[in-house]
Amino acid sequence: MENADSFEKPDPEPPPPDPFEKTLGLLEFDRIRSRAAGCARSGEAAALLLKEPPLRDPVQVEALKVLTGELAARIGSGDEEPRGSFPAAAPILAKLAVEGTGLTLEEACALGIFIESAEDLRRWILKVSAGNSADCALSPLEREAAAFPDCSAAAREIFRVVDRGGRLRDLPEFKEIQRRLQSLSRELENAVSRYTSGEETRRMLQSGLPSQRDGRVVLALKANYRGRIKGIVHEVSATGQTLFVEPEEAVEKNNELLIEKRRLDAEILRVLREMTAALARRREGLGELHRRVIALELLRAKARYSYETRGRFAVSMDAASMDAASMNADGEMTLKGARHPLLGAGAVPIDFAMKVRAVIITGPNTGGKTAALKTAGLFALMNQWGLALPAEEAALPVFDGIYADIGDEQSLSQSLSTFSAHMTNIAAIAGKATARSLVLLDELGSGTGPEEGSAIAMAVLDHFIERGVRLIATTHHGILKNYGYTRKEVENASVEFDGRTLSPTYRIVMGVPGESRALDIAGRNGLAPSIIAAARSYLEEERSDVSALIRGLKQKHRELDAAAAEQKNEETRLRVERRRADLKELRLRQKELDLKSAGIGSLQRLLSESRKTLENLVREVKEGELSREKTLKVKDFLRELAGSAAAEGEALEAESRALSEERQRLEAEYGAFVNGETAAGEDFRGRSGKDLVIEPGAEVLAGTFRRRGRVIRLDRKSRPSPKESPAVRYWIVELGSLKMRFPETELVPVRVSHETKPLIAAADLAEAPQALFEISLRGMRLEEALKTLERQIDAAALAGLHAFSVIHGKGDGILQRGVHEYLKTQSMVADYYFSRPELGGFGRTEVVLR
């Protein structure tokens, strides 16, 4: 019996692959890295890019994108980017660490070019900030460049010895040896030329030119003249017809020439070793420069790729706070107009918004489910690698792991079926995924019976949802569509399918599951119509009403969207109507107040005139036989009339205050009023409010017409008129070149905008025109009359005078027509008409302002 130890032990099973590394291959992230590496100007940086993994720390990812974004902007700014390449410097720096070693001419030249290219890169980055010495004035990218150590002395040392072509320079140390070599070469040439130029000896030679063997000058002597030229035979040709002979006269010269060449080589080696020793003393600075340059070259390659793909950087955190707590880890995962970067110009942009922890995408084959899955995963990897994304908008969390199970990985050698391969992958992912991970599962539950496959799929979804994992899954199982409706953490989605053309649109519809449309696609791909008809008959006998439910849900979604849009439009319409009604009511009340003000004014004028008339009557009566008792009665009558007017004035003031409060309420709700309308496009709530007070220097909107002005001071000296309330404070307000007096109830404070620069202009300090109840234009030329009328309209508007009369006479009708034509063009004029005959008729016009 054979010894058991004689059997070969089976090889240990290899460890299972890391699901994250496997995902990089499934999502073809290596191709993205390869494209970015092609943008590198350094072979070392390109090699590192091919191996560099995506970052998983949110703060590091954001800092990386800030640097890459700034560098991409610099590339696209038009500043000429340095085009020089960076030779591989790592092996050269490693050689400097070996004591006594010497760099070759090529190695020294490569290191010098690396240093000069690094300086060009540093100057290009710091070009914008030239002159800013304060570190706080530099951007993150500029701080990286400013941190380059100064290695210019090392470059000068290198290029003192070699030129930029890698050739040795003519140094003073070599001059004496080179002169000796030139002299020996001439002497040797003269010694040999006696054989090549002499008629007798030249016919013995195969060639008239000397040759070299082992660094020594020899003659090609014909074999039949052997012995005719004394010397050392160094070689015989393959045919035996030629002997390569070193003449006796040249032996010593060749020896001396060889010795001098060895001296020159030794001197060159000494110079190179001294240069290497000088560079070795700067090895620490050179190593730091190499590390920083390669790190910046990694960024420049990513920035160049981002610029060439015209991408946008994804929003992944609150850049203002720069801490992990503010990251978009729990926020939405949103892609708008996202184009798969590996599909080229044929990529169809997709929109995808993930507001919950899990999304189940359903729909027909070839509809774009897997492409959407790969696009989301690849964008997440690119974002964490510091690249801009080919999308219109993107908001992505930073994941601690991105895991995918995509495609058919059945293996005959490992006895793995399609289903087993999926389960193996999902088991590995389940052991790694956390609440900050993204999991992508393609065709979940496929490869086995529908019932068991659906049950396993729902159990897998439960597992990942309970752990808070972000999950995007695609499936054809109808029961999973219902699962998406029964779980609040899950949202259904579908890829849209055009039923008329039987082709996918590649548009993702969130909130609605999709139909497989397998029969339509099978017919479109050439399956016989009889087979399709038979399949439909089988389907109609045993199918559930899931498809009908889905169609109903889609219709409901469309109806709800239409209803929501209609409701929004109705709300907007009602708000506009309410605004119009409020403004109409306000204008009516304003008009009523104006009429009452006019009535009270007339009453006060009548009272004043009556007082004078009665006082004259009393004086006249006193001269007659009127008794004192009758005089007192007249005075009592006057006091009662004055009291009535005062009471009417107080009521008018109270109504004015109420109207002002109503105006302020509407202004706070709709915006500031200009001539009874809200100022277009102006948010009054952003300019005024209860936190503002009326004080000297404050900006206010004054009067009925809400003209903007500045408060000068409180009017403490002047007393209120009989129609003004003594309880209300009055302010002096500057309106342009005018200073007017307003009650506090007619002033609305506004915020002063600091965004616009102050405008300095000459001010007209001439006395402002006074508003008159009646102006006369008779005797004036038309131009002078119109200027007078213009000043009257402006003064009346500022003073709040709503109506006045213009006397222009009849005459030839020139003034009459000119005045009416002018009034027709004025926006402040509401109406104008001829006066009544008893007041002047066609020679006088009544003007009513708005």
Residue with tokens 């070299």: 212
d(CA 261, CA 255): 10
Do residues 339 and 391 make contact, with C-beta atoms less than 8 angstroms apart? yes
Alpha carbon dihedral 72, 75, 79, 84, in 10-degree steps, equals 130
d(CA 365, CA 336): 23
662: nearest Cα among 746, 536, 757, 553? 746
d(CA 46, CA 84): 15
d(CA 472, CA 750): 52
Do residues 733 and 739 make contact, with C-beta atoms less than 8 angstroms apart? yes
**Averages of pLDDT over each 10 residues, the chain, 850 residues:** 47 66 91 93 93 93 93 86 87 90 90 93 79 62 92 92 88 79 78 76 78 81 79 81 81 81 84 90 94 94 92 67 43 86 84 88 78 91 94 91 77 52 86 92 80 85 91 83 80 77 72 64 69 67 53 71 83 82 71 59 60 62 60 69 69 68 63 42 39 83 78 72 60 81 83 48 45 85 89 81 85 86 88 82 87
231: left (phi over 0), alpha (psi -120 to 50) or beta: left
DSSP assignment, residue 138? S
**Edge-first strand listing for the sheet containing 699-702:** 738-743, 730-735, 707-714, 699-702, 747-749
How many other C-beta atoms are found inside a 10 Å radius of the C-beta of residue 331?
16
> For residue 803, how far is the Cα from the chain centroid?
57
Token pair in block for residue 398:
């930073």
* pLDDT number for residue 662: 67
d(CA 71, CA 299): 8
Amino acid at 781: R
pLDDT digits (tens, 9 = 90+) for 558-591: 777 788 888 888 888 888 888 777 777 777 666 6
- Whole-angstrom CA distances from 212 to 110, 217, 244, 306, 449 are 33, 5, 9, 59, 85
* pLDDT number for residue 39: 92
d(CA 411, CA 421): 8
For 568, list phi and psi in degrees, rounded to 5: -65, -40
d(CA 475, CA 514): 10
Do residues 820 and 845 make contact, with C-beta atoms less than 8 angstroms apart? yes
Strands of 378-431, DSSP E: 393-395, 401-405
Q: Which own/partner pairs from 206-215 qualify as long-range (CB within 8 Å, at least 24 positions apart)? A: 206/241, 206/242, 211/244, 213/244, 213/246, 215/258, 215/261
Do residues 167 and 268 make contact, with C-beta atoms less than 8 angstroms apart? no
Do residues 359 and 493 make contact, with C-beta atoms less than 8 angstroms apart? yes
d(CA 56, CA 289): 27
d(CA 146, CA 138): 9
Do residues 50 and 37 make contact, with C-beta atoms less than 8 angstroms apart? yes
pLDDT digits (tens, 9 = 90+) for 465-497: 999 999 999 887 777 777 877 788 888 888 877
SS (H, E, C) 148-159: CCCCHHHHHHHH
Do residues 296 and 144 make contact, with C-beta atoms less than 8 angstroms apart? yes
d(CA 405, CA 422): 7
Helix (H) or strand (E) holding 603: helix 546-623
d(CA 179, CA 337): 74
Alpha carbon dihedral 665, 669, 673, 678, in 10-degree steps, equals -160
Length of the chain: 850
List, in sequence order, every residue forming a beta bridge with 4; answer none if it has no partner. none
Do residues 63 and 94 make contact, with C-beta atoms less than 8 angstroms apart? no
Do residues 21 and 51 make contact, with C-beta atoms less than 8 angstroms apart? no
Beta strands 829-834 and 844-849: pairing type? antiparallel
CA atoms within 13 A on the CB side of 41: 20
Do residues 210 and 218 make contact, with C-beta atoms less than 8 angstroms apart? yes
SS (H, E, C) 198-230: CHHHHCCECCCCCEEECCEEEEEEEHHHCCCCC
Token pair in block for residue 378:
């690849």
d(CA 52, CA 802): 80
pLDDT digits (tens, 9 = 90+) for 614-645: 666 656 555 555 566 666 766 776 677 677 66
The answer to whether the Cα torsion of 169, 173, 179, 182 is positive or negative is negative
* pLDDT number for residue 691: 61
> For residue 844, how far is the Cα from the chain centroid?
66
Residue with tokens 């720096």: 93
The residues, any chain, with a CB within 8 Å of residue 621's CB and separated by 6 or more, are 630, 631
The answer to whether the Cα torsion of 63, 64, 68, 69 is positive or negative is negative
> For residue 323, how far is the Cα from the chain centroid?
20
Token pair in block for residue 169:
């320079």
> For residue 197, how far is the Cα from the chain centroid?
83
Q: Which residues of 819-836 are buried (b: 16+ CB within 10 A; e: fewer)?
A: bbebbeeeeeeeebeebe
